[in-house]
A and B are shown apart, each in its own frame.
Chain A
Amino acid sequence: MAVYKRTYAAYEGSLTPTWSRFLILPRYSFARLWQSKFLVMFFMACFFYPLGCVGYIYLANNLSVLSSFGIPVGNFIKVEPSLFLYFCWVQAAFTYLLTAFVGPSLVSPDLVNGAMPLYLCRPFSRAEYIAGKMSVLVFLLSLVTWVPGLILFAIQGSLAGWEWTKANYWIAGSLFVGLMVWIVMLSLLALALSAWIKWKIAAGGLVLGVFFAGAGFGTALNNVMRTQYGTLLNLTEVMFTVWSKLFRWPSDTGISVEASWICIGVVCAICLWLLIRRVRPFEVVK
């Protein structure tokens, strides 16, 4: 119907499948996020290290290039699992900053402006809302973590040959699992904190602060109580323990892998619980 008619008419067309509706939220969120020049520039900066790794992998597999420039080629330049572990470590730092910038703008504006009843009065559940908002972060962070990680693995595999790929296929799994766990934990943390701290800047600061405060408090606890369990409050160390295990690298964090997995599970569960308590169609006033 043309707009000039300006009369109300009921809608009688077809409807989209229910399962696909949570994807509407990321579409609108991305349209808004990419309007920020800072985000676009930072997002591009996140690919500098992977590009450096590509160069490193190329050189490691083409030592003759270095020799032709008269550079002595020793045994120091070779691709090991530790390269991918360091890749995780560096890209995790970028995602940490990216989350602090993007995460708070996803949920807190809806809560500040009372938009929750508008979402939830439709055939759209709280779980779909959370999944929709979380998928923004999961997709964005995946693009700078395990996706380039797997591309690096594929490049190395193609250059080093089938034997290397067959012997090291577990690295691909470790990259995907290790970075997805990090992304999920980071996303839940950002959404939960921004749901409770409605001021975007404060929520972003808190996302950053949780890691620093946790590390500081954990170290203090270790020193006072003469234990190692305080390290469990340091989420960076916890994650590094898990990654070290996944990449078959010795870990010196002092906590067991099992305790680290449990710690990550508990953090995710708490964040989910906090989110569910806040994402409601109306505020509960006691």
Chain B
Amino acid sequence: MKLIATWKAALSATIPVAGGPMFALAEGSAGVDSARGRFTDLKAAQSSVPAPQENRPAKTGPILSCRDLWKVYGGDARRVRAILAEGSSRDEKIARLIAEGANPSVAGVSLDVRNGEILMVMGLSGSGKSTMVRCLSRLIEPEAGEVRFEGLDLLQAKPADLTEIRRRKIGMVFQNFGLMGHLTAINNVAFPLRVQGLALADRLAKARSMLELVGLAGREDCFPHLLSGGQQQRVGIARSLITDPDLWFLDEPFSALDPLIRKQMQDEFLRLQAKLHKTIIFVTHDFLEAARLGDRIAIMKDGKIVQIGSVLDFLLNPADDYVRSFVADVPALRVVKAGQIAVPVKEAFTSQGDPVVNAEESIESTLKCFLGGAQRVAVRKADGTITGIIDHNLIKSFLGRTNSGHA
């Protein structure tokens, strides 16, 4: 905190900070252009190299998408369906439903989840995030809308097909673990295979390796109540992954855990995902968790998605006061990673004596370099190639546009 304050003071003493929107990646304003321009010059100075690579594996189209999804509690079922079938706007429908004494828990949500991405669904309790996620797997039957999973309309699927999809392609982790108290850890993990009718030896062998993967080797024969919360959730994670699902739902998986354990489990989650590359829908009420783990974040309020985008979008362009209040106390310097704001450069770019930071590190750590007198910082990917550059102006305008001063 102190570090940042000193740095800002030093900055404002030497360079007058402009009042206007200098920094806006999304808007493409002058500040960025100038930065780009300088980088372009830099690039031109280098010999021509192949285009910069994406950080993540190439993404194809959406694996899961829903359109105008509604879940309404209470009210007369027929009247509710009639209202939803009308052509009126979403807000009109909501008003009419409430007038009927019904409670729209998920209100006209449309969403695409790309293959291999981690979508974080955020909101306060009661905002409909858990309900929405349960509608996507049809644990809860929505009143209206369409859910397409790998091209198949889940809401129209026959029970047998749905069972088959759940058995092979969907895994889910629950806030309170949802373990079966009468089964040992290994039998809990093997449960989905038991349901599929796999032979005992096969499923135990597989479950054992899953437990090893989540770091619970040796605890196979413990009953859940003998395990700590973190260990129970590891069992839950192992169970949800044992069928090697394509789509992985996590419903506030770490909310019931102590802060320290939560941090551990988040690391564990990132480690697993680096290995497995699942498509993930992750529900949380913790913005830091969302920023830390997610590729994109969707914030829900009263059953609607109010904004969806990257961490930067939320920090720089909050859609409304609700979102603003959500991110108000977020330490932007810590949740935004260097790789997320760096201006990309061509491959084979060398740092030329500039300090180098890792792409996954927070912006906060680059500040140290600037404090040390550097004019710009090179950003390096895990494999060691330099992929981007952050310069003095970029960081200054970032600080001006976010609330990092509060941090």
Q: Do A and B come from one complex?
A: no
